[in-house]
Structure 1
Amino acid sequence: MTKNLILLGLPGAGKGTQADFIVKDYPNVHISTGDIFRANLTDNTELGQKARTYMDAGNLVPDEVTNAMVAERLSQADVKTAGFMLDGYPRNEAQAEFLDSYLKENGSSVSATLYFEVSDSLLRERLLGRGREDDTPEVIDNRLVVNKAANLPLVDYYQKAGVLHTINGGRELTEVYRDVKKVLDTL
Structure 2
Amino acid sequence: MINIFLGAPGTGKGTVSYLLKKNCNYKHLSTGNIFRNITKRNTQIAKKVRDILKKGELVDDQLTFKVLLEDLEKYNLKKDNIILDGYPRNINQAEILLEYFNRHYKDLKISVINFKLPESVIIERLTNRLICPKCGKSYHKIFFELKPQKEWYCDDDGTKLIQREDDKIKSIKKRLEIYNKETKPLIKYFTNRDILINVDVNDSSEEVYKKVFEKCQN
TM-score (norm 2): 0.77
**3-state SS of paired residue (2:114):** strand
Report the alpha carbon displacement of residue 39 of structure 1 after superposing the two structures with TM.
5.0
After superposition, give the CA deviation of every residue in 1:21-54 in whole Å (9 maximum; x if it has no partner): 2223434311111333355431231111111122
After superposition, give the CA deviation of every residue in 1:94-123 in whole Å (9 maximum; x if it has no partner): 111111111112224452111111111111
Inter-CA distance 139–37: structure 2 relative to 1 (3 Å threshold): closer
1:142 & 1:33 partners in 2: Cα distance? 19
1:133 & 1:6 partners in 2: Cα distance? 24
| Letter of the structure 2 residue corresponding to residue 177 of structure 1 | Y
1:36 & 1:110 partners in 2: Cα distance? 24
Identity of aligned residues (%): 32
| Letter of the structure 2 residue corresponding to residue 126 of structure 1 | R
- Structure 1 runs of 4+ aligned residues shifted over 4 Å read none
| Letter of the structure 1 residue corresponding to residue 4 of structure 2 | I
Report the alpha carbon displacement of residue 143 of structure 1 after superposing the two structures with TM.
1.2
2:187 & 2:109 partners in 1: Cα distance? 14
Inter-CA distance 179–46: structure 2 relative to 1 (3 Å threshold): same
2:43 & 2:54 partners in 1: Cα distance? 16
**Is the counterpart of residue 96 in structure 1 residue 94 in structure 2?**
yes
Flag the structure with higher helix content: 1
Between the two structures, name the one with larger relative contact order (CA 8 Å, sep ≥ 6).
Answer: 1
Report the alpha carbon displacement of residue 160 of structure 1 after superposing the two structures with TM.
0.9
Q: CA RMSD in A?
A: 1.9
| Letter of the structure 2 residue corresponding to residue 144 of structure 1 | L
* Structure 2, unaligned runs of 5 or more: 131-162
Residues 100, 109 of structure 1: 8 Å contact kept:
no
Which residue in the other structure is 1:164 paired with?
Answer: 196
Q: How many residues align?
A: 184
1:72 & 1:110 partners in 2: Cα distance? 20
**Is the counterpart of residue 15 in structure 1 residue 47 in structure 2?**
no
**3-state SS of paired residue (1:8):** strand
Farther-moved stretch of structure 1 (112-121 vs 129-138)? 129-138
Which residue in the other structure is 1:115 paired with?
Answer: 114
Farther-moved stretch of structure 1 (48-57 vs 105-114)? 105-114
* Structure 1, unaligned runs of 5 or more: none
**Is the counterpart of residue 30 in structure 1 residue 62 in structure 2?**
no
Residues 28, 79 of structure 1: 8 Å contact kept:
no
Residues 4, 112 of structure 1: 8 Å contact kept:
yes
Residues 11, 117 of structure 2: 8 Å contact kept:
yes
Inter-CA distance 77–172: structure 2 relative to 1 (3 Å threshold): closer
